[in-house]
Amino acid sequence: MECWHCSRPSHGTCRFCGRGVCRDHAQKMPFILEIFKDKEGQNKAVVVDDTLWCGICKPKEAPVVLKDLE
């Protein structure tokens, strides 16, 4: 795969959208691995810091509330 920005060989893949990015253009973003409800019924998230991000796509900083799914 090639870097989305410069078309050189990519060093990794954006965790969020799957675009290829080289080391020069890779950026970092916390990634929400899992969302669960605690005993009080609050939504909690397991977050991984410094996930590879292409810098183009726009992951939401907070999980979207899916009210109608329950």
Binding mask 3-42 for Zn ion (x = CB under 5 A): x-xx-------x-xx-x--x--x-----------------
Residue 14's contacts (CB-CB under 8 Å, 6 or more residues apart) are 20, 21, 52, 53, 54, 56, 57
CA distances 58 to 29, 34, 40, 53, Å, are: 10, 18, 31, 9
CB of 67 to Zn ion, least distance (A): 27
CB of 15 to Zn ion, least distance (A): 8
Residue ranges in contact with Zn ion by CB under 5 A:
3, 5-6, 14, 16-17, 19, 22, 25, 54, 57
